[in-house]
Amino acid sequence: MKRVYAFENRCLGCGLCEVYCKTAHSKSKDIIKANRNENITSAIVIEEILQPKAVAYFALQCRHCDDAKCVKACIAGAMYKDENGVVRNDKDKCVACLSCLLVCPFGAVKKTEEGKTVSKCDLCIDFGAPACVENCPNGALKLLDDKEAEALK
Ligand code: SF4
Ligand code: SF4
């Protein structure tokens, strides 16, 4: 299956991937309203490597692991792998116990602003292509299968 791969050498830390992730998962689908008025937690997060000031940026997002620890740890059946191998979260079932957040080895699960559920990458499976990949101006995020990703390393 294809996953979002991040290429640190192309990332400028502009944060547009976060902006477009929030917009894609908003009610309004409007970039201004989504980012100003709607309380959405981005499923992709830009982290800085500080030594002592920012020397590199990298995007942190779900790997949709084959052996997903978050799915195994979920006490409510809210975290699940769909028929395409995409690890998804059913917000109606989630009880915000944060077990998935604790076991994810990549820190890819975030507590939402209101704390009633969690946020993680769903590959924008309901909207076509991942918004972060589509809108990164520097090509730092790509949707690739493992072989394609290996060839680019
Ligand atoms: S949330 Fe973490 S453990 Fe679960 S599939 Fe994504 S990267 Fe793997
Ligand atoms: S926070 Fe929600 S999705 Fe995560 S383990 Fe708990 S019930 Fe499952």
User: Is residue 82 situated within a structural domain?
Assistant: yes
User: Is residue 112 situated within a structural domain?
Assistant: no
Q: In terms of DSSP bridges, do strands 87-89 and 79-81 run parallel, antiparallel, or are they unpaired?
A: antiparallel
Same domain, 79 and 97: yes
CATH number, residue 144: 3.30.70.20
Same domain, 95 and 82: yes
Residue 30 lies in domain = 3-62+121-151
Tens digits of residue pLDDT in 98-148: 999 999 999 999 999 888 999 999 999 988 899 999 999 999 999 999 899
How many whole angstroms from 40 Cα to the centroid of ligand 1?
A: 20
Nearest-ligand number for the alpha carbon of 108: 1
Q: Are 133 and 142 in contact (CB under 8 A)?
A: yes
Same domain, 126 and 56: yes
Q: Pick from 87, 94, 111 the residue to mutate for probing ligand 1's pocket: most ligand atoms within 8 Å of its CB.
A: 87
pTM of the model: 0.89
Structure tokens given for 153:
């390393």
- Per the structure, the count of domains in the chain is 2
Same domain, 92 and 55: no
How would DSSP label each residue in 43-110?
A: SSEEEEEESSSEEEEEEE-----TT-HHHHH-SSS-EEE-TTS-EEE-TTT-----HHHHH-TT---E
Nearest-ligand number for the alpha carbon of 122: 1
Specify the length of the chain in residues: 153
Q: What are phi and psi of 135, to 5 degrees?
A: -110, 0
